Amino acid sequence: MSELCTPQRQQRDLTFVEQLPVKPLYERYESFPAVETV
């Protein structure tokens, strides 16, 4: 059951992040070369 819960939780996290206004922030971070190092 743990295996089934793991993928479901990951998918839920992705949807949560996509729904949040963090998507544009992530895109902006991608432009930052310092973030890539981190």
Summarised one tens digit per residue, pLDDT across range 1-38 is: 455 555 555 556 666 656 656 556 666 666 655 555 55
Residue for token pair 């998918």: 11
pLDDT of res. 8: 58
Instruction: Give the pLDDT confidence score for residue 4 in this predicted structure.
Output: 53
pLDDT (0 to 100) of residue 29 = 62
- Show Cβ contacts of residue 6 under 8 Å, excluding neighbours closer than 6 positions: none
Instruction: Judge whether 1 and 8 are in contact, CB under 8 Å.
Output: no
